[in-house]
């Protein structure tokens, strides 16, 4: 073997699985390289010789019956209906991130150009209360639950809100 | 319906569509399994195991690659694992089924069977890395590109193994009689 291309893509060339440009390039090389021509001829010859050893078998029908009986047809049906746990968490993460961005934008966006500065301040206070309300309720509920299960003491602050640890 | 579309509907819950995939590939897989097993009973069991394994792994199939080569990757790995455990590395004789067409006479049929058995034996006795690429390229007619995907190796490695495997085969079967003329079928080049 002296040709630098002798170990190249000749098996691919024989079955024409190269790009048009590569095929043309190799054909050009073949025209002037006797060594590579002999190599291609040998591959084709081997292919013809080994063709006698190809086994003309046909799969027995029982294979299909047994495979279809063995597989769980509902395997992917269940998965298609419900997102996987990991996917659910991923969606939850995205949802929380999106909610945070929306809240930030709402805070930063002026409500209207016609409002005077005092009105904007009032609106902000009102809006802040509306946002804080569900959290206050949640906090109270958790405190009551904690008290019920004896996890901590409870009490009320000066404003009448339930605070943990204060009798 | 294309393979990828079938897989998509199976993954969406239509498991019955797998019957089409089985119909499409069972004969080819059965033949490959037969090359490794050397008998129809084991070839049948291997084919069933491969198809069941592929169904259970369908969620791992990456759309964008060809399903046929993905399935063959499972098949070849399964057959190699099987032959490492079950089959002696190099069998003395390979019992082949009736390999000839109906037109050939009994003597011609017998000779062809003998020749085929000898080639199978010779290929089967090569180191696994060479026998696998030779089988996939010459018997199953996969391209080097596809073999590279099936075996998860580079295309250049496939070409090299094909060349080396062919040389080794030439050493095992130096002279063959074909068409009444005695000549070296594995000529010296390459």
Indicate whether B77 and B26 sit together in one domain: yes
pLDDT of residue B96: 53
As given in the structure block, the two tokens for residue A100 are 């945070």
Residues B18 and B77 in one domain: yes
How many domains does chain B divide into?
Answer: 2
Residue B188 in any domain: the answer is no
Does B52 map to a domain? yes
The reply to whether B16 falls in a domain is: yes
**Residues A81-107: pLDDT tens digits?**
555 555 556 667 778 888 888 888 877
Is the same domain home to B99 and B178?
A: yes
Asked if residue B35 and residue B11 are part of one domain, the reply reads yes
Put simply, the answer to whether A75 touches B55 (Cβ < 8 Å) is yes
pLDDT at A119 over 70: no
pLDDT at A114 over 90: no
Residue A131 is predicted with a pLDDT of: 67
Q: What is the mean pLDDT of residues A75-86?
A: 65
Give the phi and the psi of residue B175 in degrees, each rounded to 5: -130, 135
In this prediction, residues B176-186 reach a mean pLDDT of 42
Of B44, B69, B87, the residue at which a domain comes to its end is B87
Residue B158 has pLDDT above 60, yes or no: yes
Q: Is B12 helix (H, G, I), strand (E, B) or coil?
A: coil
Q: How far apart are the first and last CA of chain A?
A: 96
Single out the residue in B87, B117, B140 at which a domain terminates: B87
pLDDT of residue A77: 79
Kindly list the residues from chain A whose CB atom is less than 8 angstroms away from the CB atom of residue B190: 6, 10, 38-39, 42-43
Residue B48 lies in domain? 1-87
- Residues B99, B79, single domain; the answer is no
B178 and B142 fall within a common domain = yes
Q: Which two tokens stand for residue A46?
A: 């081997």
The CATH number covering residue B35 comes to: 1.10.1740.10
What digits encode the pLDDT tens for the residues A6-37? 567 899 999 999 899 989 988 999 998 998 99
Nearest CB partner across the interface for A46, out of B15, B116, B138: B138
Distance from first CA to last CA of chain B, Å, rounded?
A: 42
For residues B18 and B100, state if they share a domain.
Answer: no
Which residue, among B21, B154, B189, would best test binding to A if mutated, counting the most A CBs under 10 Å from its CB? B189
Give the model's pLDDT for residue B187. 46
């Amino acid at each position: 073997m002296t040709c630098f291309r002798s170990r190249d893509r000749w098996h691919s060339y024989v079955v024409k699985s190269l790009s048009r440009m590569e095929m043309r390039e190799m054909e050009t090389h073949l025209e002037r390289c006797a060594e590579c021509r002999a190599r291609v001829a040998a591959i084709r010859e081997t292919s013809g010789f080994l063709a006698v050893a190809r086994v003309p078998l046909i799969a027995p029908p029982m294979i299909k019956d047994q495979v279809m009986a063995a597989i769980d047809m509902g395997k992917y049906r269940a998965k298609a209906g419900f997102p996987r746990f990991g996917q659910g968490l991923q969606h939850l993460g995205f949802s929380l991130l999106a909610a945070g961005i929306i809240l930030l934008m709402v805070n930063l966006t002026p409500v209207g150009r016609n409002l005077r500065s005092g009105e904007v301040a009032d609106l902000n206070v009102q809006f802040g209360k509306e946002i804080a309300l569900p959290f206050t309720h949640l906090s109270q509920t958790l405190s009551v639950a904690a008290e019920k299960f004896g996890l901590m003491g409870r009490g009320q602050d000066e404003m009448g809100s339930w605070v943990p640890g204060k009798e | 319906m294309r393979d990828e579309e079938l897989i998509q509907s199976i993954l969406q819950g239509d498991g019955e569509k797998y019957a089409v995939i089985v119909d499409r590939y069972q004969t080819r897989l059965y033949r490959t399994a037969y090359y490794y097993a050397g008998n129809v009973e084991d070839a049948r069991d291997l084919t069933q195991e491969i198809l069941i394994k592929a169904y259970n792994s369908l969620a791992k199939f990456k759309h964008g690659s060809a399903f046929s080569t993905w399935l063959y990757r499972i098949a070849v790995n399964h057959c190699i694992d099987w032959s490492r455990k079950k089959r002696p590395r190099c069998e003395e004789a390979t019992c082949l089924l009736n390999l000839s067409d109906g037109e050939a006479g009994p003597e011609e049929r017998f000779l062809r069977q003998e020749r085929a058995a000898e080639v199978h034996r010779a290929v089967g006795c090569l180191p696994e890395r060479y026998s696998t690429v030779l089988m996939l390229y010459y018997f199953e007619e996969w391209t080097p590109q596809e073999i590279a995907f099936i075996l998860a190796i580079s295309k250049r490695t496939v070409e090299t193994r094909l060349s080396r495997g062919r040389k080794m085969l030439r050493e095992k079967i130096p002279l063959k009689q074909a068409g009444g003329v005695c000549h070296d079928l594995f000529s010296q080049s390459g």
